[in-house]
């Protein structure tokens, strides 16, 4: 009697989930050990989110930063199933999808990522636009085109949140809108990019200043309507006219995670061992935004793509090790620096003893992200397109 293949189900096709699936497909499984690997995501495309901003300025196209899962997983042996997760029966080791599909598992990977919390501030859920998904970018693009083709003298945009996403958005939109734009960046703290190196902070401050982006520091949002944003600075509340409000504040765990009987921290993130196994459930692995992970050196890890990418390699290896009677490895995070886009053809980069800004950082950032795209085939397609773009621009003149 032949033994049935182990079943690995990966929920979430972001950096953690997709790259875990690709890592598993490359490992040296013997024929009897070869598992069934199923990747589940509610969308049909992977999103390389650090490059999402480039859609707004037309620097990149959707296919470059959001290739279909079916294309990326071709010839890997990994199955893709598009659908949302309805429930996870931990005791029965079974996932039920919203279309009724049942997926029993021997190993489960939770990589559902995070969501932008719109909170309970009046009007925010109804009128603000988050910026995390392709759908968010399309919604913003549609609104921008409406305003750009209108007879409005100025297009007034407020970006709430002075972290990486807020700063990058403000710079890109300032470049796109030019003199017609009136942008402000709203941050409740006393400074932007408070966890960023001083070099990057200074470069970002200059980029925002050069583009005329107004900074509202130590300022909170009181309410939002269709065309008005109420801001509180100290004890004073002012209502300012707005056409678009972008919300980039915070990350919350996907709702399905809250219902699971797994150890969670105060932010409802799942607590995992350094080897990425869920506490008390060695058959379940968790990584990315929804995992409360301390690595082998005790570092508390931020919710970034860089962390999820590195976790995915360890997660794939440790699942393989757990199914082939090998020792599991504790995750060791290597901080490789940080990169930010600060408008068209402008960026900043720090790490590994290097500090760059301007066009040099822009080129270095593009090359680094090209290398991190999920498959060699996609890297080649995108790289050839980037190489050919200057020639196409020249011929079109």
CA diameter of the chain: 76
User: What is d(CA 276, CA 299) in angstroms, rounded to the nearest whole number?
Assistant: 14
pLDDT at residue 295 in the model: 84
Where among 219, 247, 275 does a domain terminate? 247
User: What is d(CA 157, CA 170) in angstroms, rounded to the nearest whole number?
Assistant: 9
Query: Are 137 and 92 in a shared domain?
Result: no
What is the pTM assigned to this prediction? 0.93
Quote the domain boundaries for residue 129: 124-247
Query: Are 133 and 192 in a shared domain?
Result: yes
* Residues 6+ positions from 105 with CB-CB distance below 8 Å: 7, 8, 9, 93, 94, 95, 283
pLDDT at residue 392 in the model: 60
Token look-up 């360890």 returns 314
For residue range 141-195, what is the model confidence (pLDDT) as tens digits? 999 999 999 999 999 999 999 999 999 999 999 999 999 999 999 999 999 999 8
Query: Are 279 and 315 in a shared domain?
Result: yes
Query: Are 192 and 138 in a shared domain?
Result: yes
Query: Are 220 and 267 in a shared domain?
Result: no
Tokens linked to 301: 């890890």
Where among 232, 247, 262 does a domain terminate? 247
Query: Are 182 and 141 in a shared domain?
Result: yes
pLDDT for residue 3 is more than 90: no
User: What is d(CA 53, CA 347) in angstroms, rounded to the nearest whole number?
Assistant: 12
Kindly state whether residue 51 falls inside one of the protein's structural domains.
no
Where among 273, 293, 323 does a domain terminate? 323
Kindly state whether residue 319 falls inside one of the protein's structural domains.
yes
**CATH code for the domain in which residue 192 is found:** 3.50.50.60
Kindly state whether residue 234 falls inside one of the protein's structural domains.
yes
Kindly state whether residue 64 falls inside one of the protein's structural domains.
no
pLDDT band of 353, cuts 50, 70, 90: confident
DSSP string covering 3-69: PPPPEEEEE--SHHHHHHHHHHHHS---GGGPPEEEEEESSSB---GGGGGGGTTTSS-HHHHS-BH
Number of domains in the chain: 3
Query: Are 37 and 128 in a shared domain?
Result: no
Kindly state whether residue 278 falls inside one of the protein's structural domains.
yes
pLDDT for residue 1 is more than 50: no
């Amino acid at each position: 009697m032949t033994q049935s293949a182990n079943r690995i189900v990966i929920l979430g096709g972001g950096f953690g989930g997709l790259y875990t699936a690709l890592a598993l497909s490359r490992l040296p499984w013997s024929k009897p050990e070869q598992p069934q690997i199923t990747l589940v995501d509610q969308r049909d495309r992977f999103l390389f989110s650090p490059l999402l901003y480039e859609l707004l300025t037309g620097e990149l196209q959707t296919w470059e930063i959001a290739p279909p899962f079916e294309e990326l997983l071709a010839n890997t042996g990994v199955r893709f199933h598009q659908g949302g997760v309805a429930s996870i029966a931990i005791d029965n080791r079974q996932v039920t999808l919203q279309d009724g599909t049942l997926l029993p598992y021997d190993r489960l990977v939770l990589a559902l990522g995070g969501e932008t919390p719109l909170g309970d501030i009046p009007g925010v859920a109804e009128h603000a636009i988050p910026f995390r998904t392709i759908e968010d970018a399309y919604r913003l693009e549609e609104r921008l085109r409406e305003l750009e083709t209108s007879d409005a003298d100025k297009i007034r945009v407020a970006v709430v949140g002075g972290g990486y996403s807020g700063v990058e958005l403000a710079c890109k939109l300032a470049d796109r809108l030019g003199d017609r734009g009136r942008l402000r960046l709203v941050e409740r703290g006393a400074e932007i990019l408070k966890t960023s190196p001083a070099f990057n902070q200074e470069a970002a401050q200059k980029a925002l200043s050069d583009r005329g982006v107004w900074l509202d520091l130590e300022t909170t949002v009181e309410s939002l309507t269709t065309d008005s944003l109420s801001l509180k600075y100290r004890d004073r509340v002012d209502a300012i006219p707005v056409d678009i409000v972008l919300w980039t504040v915070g990350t919350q765990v996907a709702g399905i995670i809250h219902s699971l009987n797994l150890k969670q921290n105060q932010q409802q993130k799942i607590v995992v061992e350094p080897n990425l196994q869920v506490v008390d459930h060695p058959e379940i692995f968790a990584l990315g935004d929804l995992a409360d992970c301390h690595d082998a050196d005790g570092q508390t890890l931020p919710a970034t793509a860089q962390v999820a990418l590195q976790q995915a390699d360890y997660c794939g290896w440790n699942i393989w090790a757990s199914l082939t009677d090998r020792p599991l490895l504790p995750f060791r995070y290597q901080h490789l620096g940080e990169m930010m886009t600060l408008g068209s053809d402008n960026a900043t980069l720090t790490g590994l003893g290097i500090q760059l800004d301007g066009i040099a950082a822009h080129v270095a950032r593009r090359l680094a992200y090209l290398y991190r795209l999920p498959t060699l085939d996609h890297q080649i397609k995108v790289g050839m397109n980037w190489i050919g773009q200057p020639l196409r621009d020249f011929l079109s003149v």
